[in-house]
Every structure is written in C-alpha cells, then in structure tokens.
Amino acid sequence: MKKLITAEDLTQIVSVSHPVYSPDGKKAVFTKVSVNEKKDDYNIHLWVRDEERGELSQWTFDDGKHHQPAWSKDGKQLAFILQKPKEVPQLALIQSDGGGIRTLTNIPYGVSQPVFSPDGAFIYAAVSLKQEESVHDEKKEERDDFAPAVYDDLTYKADGRGFLDGRLTQIVKIDVRSGEVEMVTSESHHHVNHVVSPCGKWLAYIQSNPQTFYISDICLLSLEDGTSKKITQSTGAYTTVSFSPNGESLLYIGHEREFENATFLSLWLHDLKEKKTVQLSEMLDMYVGNCMAGDSVMGEANQLPQWTKDSQGFYALVSDQGSTGIYYFSIEGLAYPVRLEAEHVTNFSLHPDESKMLISRLSPVSPSELYELTLGESSLKQITFEHDDFLKEHVISEPEPISFQSKEGDIVHGWLMKPAQMEEGKTYPLILEIHGGPHAMYGHTYFHEFQMLAAEGYAIVYINPHGSHGYGQMFTDRVRGSYGDVDYEDVMLAVDHVLEAYDFLDETRLGVTGGSYGGFMTNWIVGQTDRFRAAVTQRSISNWISFYGISDIGYFFTKWQIDGDIYDSVDKLWDRSPLKYVKQVNTPLLILHSDEDYRCPVDQGEQLFVALKELGKDTRLVKFPKASHDLSRSGHPGQRIQRLTFIQEWFREKLS
C-alpha cells in the first residue's frame, strides 16, 4: 500500500544540481542539497562522476555547505566554497587524484564565487567588505547590539540580508600555493559574477551602485594595469557575463528596462575588437533563463551559457509556456531548441567534446535528478536516483494541462492536479494556487506543497495569468498598472473552467492561497468575492501606501507595478490595496508571514489581521521568527514543515 505525501516528507527531497565537467571531460562534479539529520539546516555535498566508468563518488562528507565548484584548467584541482556550521564561508581546494580538503582562506567576512585563472596559479573570488575592513583582518569587530544604527542612503535593508551595514562586494585574487590574498577591485560599487578571459589578461563582471542596484553594468578590467571600462551605458540590468573561448567576444544576459522588472532577459554579444554590441535574441519572444516557480529546488547556482569550442555559438536556458529547457544560439542570432519538453531544467554542463550534456532536471512527478543528454537524441539517461524509493513508496498526483480563453482573447494555460486518491461518485474540494512575482511562471516541475494538498484530498488548479513569464513580452507586461483587473479575471475564469470540465469538483468547497504577489491576489480575491470558503495568504501585500516605505524595494517596485507613488498617487495606491476592501471580507483567512521578511514586510500581514479582527472576521495570524521572504523555498526546514502544516490544517478545518 503506497503512502500519501505529508508535510514532513519535505525532508526527503534532495536537490541534485550544478553539474560541471572537468576540462578533459573525464570527470563531472555536481552538488546534492539535503536536510541535515537535526532538520535545522541543509548540507551541500560535492559528488563526482567518473565519465569512463560511470561511477559516482562522494568527495565531501562533513556537515556544512560545500558548493560553487570550479575546476582548474588542467583538471587537477577543484576549488569550492566551504561553509562549516555556524562559520562564514571560505575558499577550499581538493586534488582530483585524491587527498584531503585544504582550506585556502581565513577571511572573517566570507568568500564566494571562485574562478581559476587559466594557468591555475590564482583564484578570483568575491568578498563582502566595509570600506574600513580588510581581507587581512583576523576577525570581525564585535558588534554592539545596543549601538544606534545610522543610515544616509535610500537602500538600507535587503530581504535575506537584513539591515545593511555598508558592505560592498569586491573581487580578490588568491594565490593557490600560498593563500595570499590581494584586492582586485575597490570602487564603491558591488562587483559580482566575475569571469576571467581565456588569455588571463581580463576580468569581466557585473557592477552596480548599492543605491540603484536595479541598474547594473557589464565591466571589463585589465589585470595587467588595473584599468576598467564599462561596456554598457548604466541604463539596464544584467545578470550574467562570459567570454567566448577565442576571447574575442563578451556574451551577457540582461535587459534595458523597457518594461522595468517585467522586461524579458535577452542575450547580448559584444565584439571586443570592434567595440560593437548586438542583441542576439531580439526576435525571440521568450525569457532567457529559468523563471519557474517552485518549492523543491535549493542551492541553485547562476547558470553560465555554455560556448562551443569554435566560438560560433553557445547553449543557454530558456523558459517558455511552463517549460524550462535549453536552446542553441549562433553568434549570428539563429536559435533553435535543443531540449524543451514538459520539464524543468535548472542547470546543465556541455561535455568538452560537445557530444553530450549533463542536466539537472525536475518533472511534475519527480524532484531533481541528474541526467545525461546525448545531443541529437531525445532520450535521457538517468545518472542519479535519489528519489527512487520515495516515488515508489508514495502516491504522486500527475497534473493535467488546461487552457481557456481570457476575456481579452488570449489563451491562458494552467494545470489541474487531482486528489491523490479518489472514489467513484464522490466530490472533492478545489484549491486555487497563485504564484508570486508577478513575473514568474508555474510549470512542469515538482511542487511539494501541491502534492501534499492532493494527498489531503484536494484538487489544485494553478495557472499562468496575465503578468506571468513564458507567454511573450506583452502578456507579461499586461498586468503592470492594473493589479486586480485582468489577472483577477484570469484566475476566476480558471476556477469556472475546471468546475465545468471536472464533475468531481465541489463548487461549494473552494479554497485559495498564494505567496508574495500571490498573497496580494489572495487578499484581493477575498475582498471582491465570497465564492471561497477558506483562504491562506502568505508573505502578502495588503497596503501599497505603507509598502512604499517599508519594503526593501517598495519605493521603485510600487511605481513600476502599480504606476503610482505616495506623493501624487495615494488614491490610486489605496484603490489597489486589499486593506481598503476589508469590510467586504467574509472568507476565513489564515495569514502566514515571516518576521524578518523585508520584501513584503510583516506589517502587511499585521495590518490586515488587526483590521479583520477588529471587524469580528474569522482570521488568524501566524508569524515565523527569524524567517525571510524565501521561507517556503529555502527557509529553516522545521519552519517549512510548520508552514505546510498550518495550510493543511486550515483548509482541513474550513473545507471539510
């Protein structure tokens, strides 16, 4: 008899990701992220596949996080970031022919993003420093918890990092033999996602001003004389940069903010000799990158495009219509899908002989595993089998695709997940799930929350309404300035569509939930209709006026998304605020919020709770201490289980 999935089963989910072939193609390293035995944190371990024997071996064992692996060009050394429990991350090395781990740095402020120089003599890495701090400090200064905090800048806090203290991300150069550390950058900017040119003479990176972090530039620094120059014009936002193998071109991913944060990421190619830039993906109305919403992927790394040896093309991730896969792009701008199936590819590595790839992949009925893809073939060879026993022992519900026409005439896509166990002639409650963003995408991935609810006896409908990625730039941009209009129509039409299409659904037992923007939509829905018998709002927005000043992104996000500000558009912000309609709420509402959520701060949930409670409405507030906006995806394992349990019990009580 197979078991039904529970909230606690979350601890059995392993993220297998970040494959990287060695330069000679004889080995491939990858990471496994799992919940530790105490269930209070995660372990990340390095595993290596011997490509000739097909054997897997574990290279790191102790508790902690061993990740961001990088091979030296000769393949003899593997650098990675080692973070022991309750310690800051440091740079470590391991020899590919065996031997123990050698910790190379002892920088009290931590290290990240290791990149080898072509000759293997140095590693370039990132360090977060205040102006008065040095990589040669022996320890951090003791913090006075009672000292006043003084801020002069607009950007003074960030979700997941808390209240900022003036630290900037700088690039350092570390001697592999001696461990000696030398500063490479020192400007009052952040310098991230650096790469070294094949000749070893140049460093490319993304630079941003901490006060306008939503604007960034691609920069090139000479490692010979220390001079630097901007490739871009301080008008866009960029995420990734890489050199072509011949060193003649810079490829970077980003956009020029034509639709602010709703703008699709694009591919840009800069000729270093001619100093000319072309947009390669201009005719491709797809999102370059991975924008999949989910709760079962942890420890993901930034995916660099993978160049072919002849420098005439490269492979990159692309998201489209609920799938995330791999496209090939030529430097002339031609593009075709290498693999774009009903699945979620998170990372990949191209073998040096260009015959195959290793990909980390999820499907709607399986968490992530590692697979081998032979180029030119459609079948996959599975490499890891982390979830075989889990999938054999449990009932997994497979979602069915749905589609319907919106009121504006567009086709809206989504899925209906049936209850894990069903009896003939019996009817079942339906829960509407709404993703965050709003510019994210539901799709063909494993979603543990959905599987748990299906095991509880619910059907789940989830769609990509207007505002979602994956359906073209205009579809994504449509929701800006009109939250609660066309998007509200879409999700309500989705409910109507499945109620008509599936006769086992009980239209009198409807639930709704979502997080972030999905939390806003949940709040909005219960203020507009009484159709739902129960609702759970998570890390939500209830008041755009207060959000403007208390969110780490409020002052620009509100302008971009609601098209208003607190100076000249207060009426518009209030009109789009769910709090305005609180007297109309009759649906029992559970409010889940993280205490240290600086993206959608906890006061958003508290304001809503106080108003509902004062009016005598059926509501409950649950706060998670020390948790951030990312609780459901990468938070404390115990709190993630508790969050799922609260959702489960609320719907169980209200929809029975």
User: Known catalytic residues?
Assistant: 516, 629
- CA 650 – CA 622 distance, rounded (Å): 12
DSSP class of 125: E
- Are 655 and 533 contacting, i.e. CB atoms less than 8 angstroms apart? yes
Element spanning 338, H or E: strand 335-339
Residue with token string 């740079």: 91
**Which residues have C-beta within 8 Å of that of residue 567, sequence separation ≥ 6?**
none
Give the residue from 369, 419, 359, 418 showing the smallest Cα distance to 390.
Answer: 369
Spatial CA neighbour of 436 closest among 635, 637, 600: 600
Helix axes 517-528, 486-501, angle to 10 degrees: 80
Torsion of CA 441, 443, 446, 448, to 10 degrees: 50
Q: CB–CB of 395/2 below 8 Å?
A: yes
What b/e sequence results for 100-123 when a residue is b if at least 16 CB atoms lie within 10 Å of its CB, and e otherwise? ebeebbbbbbbbbbbbbbeebebb
Instruction: Identify the burial level of 614 via C-beta atoms within 10 angstroms of its C-beta, where 0-12 means exposed, 13-18 middle and 19 or more buried.
Output: exposed
Taking the CB of residue 153, how many other CB atoms lie within 10 A of it? 9
Rounded CA Rg of the chain: 25
**Residue 391 phi, psi dihedral angles, 5° rounding:** -70, -35
Neighbours of 398 (CB within 10 A): 11
